[in-house]
Amino acid sequence: MQTEKFVYFDNINTTFPDPRVVRKIDEVLNFRLGNPSAHIHSAGIAAGKVVDEAREKVAAYIGAAPETLIFTSGATEANNLAITGFLKANPEFGFVCSNIEHFSVLNQIRSLRNSVKTSILDVDSYGLVEPDSLEKVLKNNRSIVSLSLANPEIGTMQDIEKISEICSRNGSILHSDATAAAGLIEIDVNKMGIDLLTLSGHNIYGPAGVGALYVNKKIRLASIFEGGNQESGIRPGTENVPGIAGMGEACEALKGDMKSHEKRLRDLGNDLWKSLQESVRFVNFTGHPEKRLPGHVSFWVEHIEGESLLLLLSMNGVMASSGSACSSNLKAKDEDELMASHVLAAVGVPSDICSGSITLSAGRYNTEEDFNYVKSVLPGLVEKLLTMSPSYDDYMKNKETTDG
């Protein structure tokens, strides 16, 4: 049963490029640009100008100065540069992150734990880091603290300003992976008190294969690569000029109507949450009900498998995700990673009754009609799966016995 319907609710994993981005990349690819390092001729100078302009636009989105930005191949590389690069230059610091971080942050613990003091903070049942536990870890242990602005799987947004205040009070440095939050909310690194910030092009209606790391001027960072002098020698290698230009244009396109998109998506997301709460039996929402990404609704349903619901949604034209796409494709390095999502485990979702969660993540191209469509089809799909569920069957038999 295939449908022509195309309702995309997987913006957390990738977004479709803004038409202005597509035009910009096309223009850049068609212009005869040289290597930005070839300062000696006009084609190289023109390429350097494209990169400089993009740097200004990306910096403007996060309220930073252009020279504080390093272009990377994406968020994974930016996260590695931020943490391992910082610790290479500042070996006296420790490393603290939460247990719901993306694996590009969390897995750095493995390679760093023999050389620096590392701590993994537990989050509460909403996915929030408890300020007191952070304070306790940082006392007598100056660290780089890496906490994402928002979690892609459960949508929870950390109270980043409070976290930043604790970090600076304890002489520590704050890195925040803003991959999931960028493009959905306004970001100001100075107001938020963030020292290092990760961005990914394809999550902000730009291209994949490009990202950026903001590095506050007071931070000393060492490269983790050997190579040339590009990006101040921190990220050597010839720049991805079309990708960088596309990312710049994506940031430029975000300008102006950020607040109105945020409000529209927040209202539509809240409304979808309420509707599913009333219409879907056995539903359990994940993440914080208010401190969450706009247009993000995540949940699991007792007695049914998340993957089955995802498949039925897809057959009905709705594209969503289960856990994070990165972890579902993960080449597990140990047995823990073969289990259900580390994020669901961290927020205490019981693995014996939860067989996978669903994340519906909207973006600026989603219409009210998209939300209404999900509201109309989802309850019926859940009911269909319940009729096929042995666990639901057992539950009903038990209920009949106990109800007499």
Per CB under 6 A, residues contacting ligand PMP are 74-76, 102, 104, 148, 152, 177, 179-180, 200, 211, 324, 326
- Rounded Cα distance between 284 and 389, Å, is 17
- Rounded Cα distance between 367 and 347, Å, is 31
CB-CB contact of 196 with 174 (8 Å)? yes
Q: In the bound complex, what is the minimum distance in angstroms from residue 200's beta carbon to ligand PMP?
A: 4
Q: In the bound complex, what is the minimum distance in angstroms from residue 259's beta carbon to ligand PMP?
A: 23
Q: In the bound complex, what is the minimum distance in angstroms from residue 211's beta carbon to ligand PMP?
A: 5
The nearer residue to ligand PMP, 106 or 301, going by C-beta atoms, is 106
Q: In the bound complex, what is the minimum distance in angstroms from residue 144's beta carbon to ligand PMP?
A: 16
Q: In the bound complex, what is the minimum distance in angstroms from residue 20's beta carbon to ligand PMP?
A: 21
The nearer residue to ligand PMP, 81 or 134, going by C-beta atoms, is 81
Given 167, 251, 326, 354, the catalytic residue: 326
The nearer residue to ligand PMP, 75 or 197, going by C-beta atoms, is 75
Q: In the bound complex, what is the minimum distance in angstroms from residue 325's beta carbon to ligand PMP?
A: 7
Provide CB contacts within 8 A for 386, sequence distance 6+. 281, 282, 303, 304, 392
Q: Which of 183, 128, 182 is nearest to 156 (CA)?
A: 128
Q: In the bound complex, what is the minimum distance in angstroms from residue 382's beta carbon to ligand PMP?
A: 26
Our answer to whether residue 167 is catalytic in this structure is no
Provide CB contacts within 8 A for 350, sequence distance 6+. none
The nearer residue to ligand PMP, 180 or 219, going by C-beta atoms, is 180
The nearer residue to ligand PMP, 175 or 303, going by C-beta atoms, is 175
The nearer residue to ligand PMP, 78 or 313, going by C-beta atoms, is 78
The nearer residue to ligand PMP, 76 or 355, going by C-beta atoms, is 76
Provide CB contacts within 8 A for 341, sequence distance 6+. 153, 323, 324, 327, 357
The nearer residue to ligand PMP, 73 or 391, going by C-beta atoms, is 73
Strand bridging mode 211-215 / 69-72:
antiparallel
Q: In the bound complex, what is the minimum distance in angstroms from residue 269's beta carbon to ligand PMP?
A: 18
* Residues that are catalytic: 326
